[in-house]
Amino acid sequence: MEIGQIPARSVRKFTKDGAKELIHEGHNVLIQDLFLFRIMYKNFLKQNINILTRNDIYGTDRCLSFGQFDGSMRYKGEAGFRGADQPKQYVAGDRFVCDFDDATILGPVGPGLTKEGTVIADTVGSPPLVSRRTGVSLAQSISKNGIRPTLNALQGEATYTDKIDVAAHAVSPWNNYYHWSVECLLRVRLLEQYGDRTGTYPTLLVPNKRPSWIDESLELINYTGDIAGLKSGVVDVEKLVVPTFPDPIPQECAWIQDRMREQVTTSGEQNQRVFVARQDATVRRIANRDAVQQVFDRYNIDTYLLGELSVKEQISLFSDAEVVVGPHGAGLTNILYGSDLTVIELFGDKTMATFDRLAESMSHEYRYLQCEQAGLDIRVDAKELEATLRDVLTTD
C-alpha cells in the first residue's frame, strides 16, 4: 500500500467494513508494514538472513524433478509489463519437490526454515519476489510470535509451540483471491505428483483464519492429502515438503483450469461479455461510471461484483466468457478459467504484469488502457474504450 493513500483508503475501509476491520488493517499497515518491514527488516535484519535459493534447492540430494521448463518468465511487477521498453525476465527453471527434515515454519504465514534457520526461498515466492516476501512474512511472525522467538528460529535455535509430521506450506501474507488461487492452491499440482511417486501426501497447511471462498476452492480442488490451518506460533515439522513456488508457468495455469472446471457446469458457449467491477473495493473504482456504462450498454457487456458470486459461479462465468474488461485487481484471476478470450485491463498511473502474464500463459488476447488517475480511482477514456471493444468484437 502507498503510504500517501492511507487517509483516503481508511475512510472507505471504515464505510465498507466498520471500525473493527479498520483498526485491524491499521495495525497491519503501521506496525507490520511500516515499522517491522520497511524499517526493521530492510535496515537491520535483511543482511543477516540466510536464504536457500531456488538454484540452491536444485542442488540438494532430496530434490525430485517433476518436469522441465526451459522458458523465461516476465517479472510480476511493473518492470515485467509488456508495455515496458524492455520487460524484465527471469529463468523460472524446472519443476521440483524437495523435502527437508527437522524443519520449521513460522506462523501464521511462513516462511519455512531449514533446521539451521535458513529461509527456504520457494516457501515464500518466485526468485524475483523472495527478498521482499521474506521480509513481509517475517514481519508478520514478529508481530504475532514476538521478535525473540522469530530471531531464535532464524538462528536454528527455535522454541516450538506446535509439531506436525509431514506438511507443505500454502499460505500467503496476502489473503486475497489472486494470491490464494495462483500462489497457494496451485501448489497442490506438484504435491499430488510427489504423493503419487512417494506414497506420502503431506498435510496442506492453509490460512487458519480464512474466508469461506477459500474453503470452497479447497473442496473444488479436492486435494488427496489432509488439510490443516496454520496458526501463529513456531511449528516443528518432521518433514517439510516444498514444491516449486508457482511462477506460474503455462503448464500450471492449464492444470488449475482443468482441475477446477471439472467441478462446474458451463454452457459450452463463449458468449459472455464481462465487466469486473470494483465498487466493493477501496481503490481503482471507475470514477466516470456513467460514461463507461453507456459504452458497455452498446456492446452488451454485463457488470459483475465477483464478491457476490461463489467460486463455482465465477469459474462458470469466466469459462463462458468471450471478453473480460476490468481494472487491475484480484477478480481478473478468473481469466485462468477462460478459453481463447480477450482481456482488457484498465490501469491508473501504475501498471503491473500480474494478469498480463496470466493472459500470456493462457494464450488469451490481451489489451490494456492507460487511464487517468483520479485520487484512489481511475477515469476511463470512454472513446478509447469503445474503440478497443469495437476492434476486438468486430466479426465478419
pTM of the predicted model, to two decimals?
0.94
Please list the residues that pair with 228 across neighbouring strands.
Answer: 205
Residue 100 lies in a domain: yes
259, part of any domain? no
Q: Which residues pair with 323 in a beta bridge?
A: 273, 342
CATH for 322: 3.40.50.450
**38 and 174 both lie in a single domain:** no
Mark whether 123 and 24 lie in a shared domain: no
286 plus 173 within the same structural domain: no
- For residue 214, being part of any structural domain is answered with yes
Position 262 in a domain: no
300-324: b (≥16 Cβ within 10 Å) or e: ebebbebbebebbebbbbbbbbbbb
Number of structural domains the chain divides into: 3
**Distance from the Cα of residue 206 to its chain's centroid:** 14
CB 121 within 8 A of CB 103: no
Q: Do residues 7 and 62 share a domain? A: no
pLDDT in tens, 216-255: 999 999 999 999 999 999 999 999 999 999 999 999 999 9
Give yes or no: residues 89 and 14 share one domain: no
CB atoms closer than 10 angstroms to residue 93: 21
88 plus 209 within the same structural domain: yes
In this structure, are 84 and 229 located in the same domain? yes
In a domain, 110, yes or no: yes
Q: Are residues 239 and 311 in the same domain?
A: no
Domain assignment present for residue 255? The answer is no
Residue 74: name the closest of 362, 360, 331 by CA.
360
Reference 163, options 240, 236, 241, 239; nearest CA is 236
For the residues of 64-119, what is the DSSP string, one character each? EE------EEE-SSGGG-TTSSS--EEE----EEEEEEEEEEEETT--EE-TT--E
Domain of residue 70 covers 49-247
Q: Is residue 115 one of the residues assigned to a domain?
A: yes
Q: CB–CB of 275/304 below 8 Å?
A: yes
3-state secondary structure of 383: helix
Are residue 223 and residue 351 in the same domain, yes or no? Answer: no
The answer to whether residues 281 and 368 belong to one domain is: yes
- Write b or e for each residue in 44-59: b if 16 or more Cβ atoms lie within 10 A of its Cβ, otherwise e: ebeeebeebebeebee
Does residue 257 lie in a domain region?
Answer: no
Half-sphere exposure of 102 (CA within 13 A, CB side): 7
Same domain, 230 and 356: no
Q: Residue-wise pLDDT tens for the chain (396 aa)?
A: 555 565 555 556 446 666 666 566 777 778 999 999 999 999 999 999 999 999 999 989 899 999 999 999 999 999 999 999 999 999 999 999 999 999 999 999 999 999 999 999 999 999 999 999 999 999 999 999 999 999 999 999 999 999 999 999 999 999 999 999 999 999 999 999 999 999 999 999 999 999 999 999 999 999 999 999 999 999 999 999 999 999 999 999 999 999 999 999 888 888 999 999 999 999 999 999 999 999 999 999 999 999 999 999 999 999 999 999 999 999 999 999 999 999 999 999 999 999 999 999 999 999 999 999 999 999 999 999 999 999 999 854
Q: 64 and 141 in one domain? A: yes
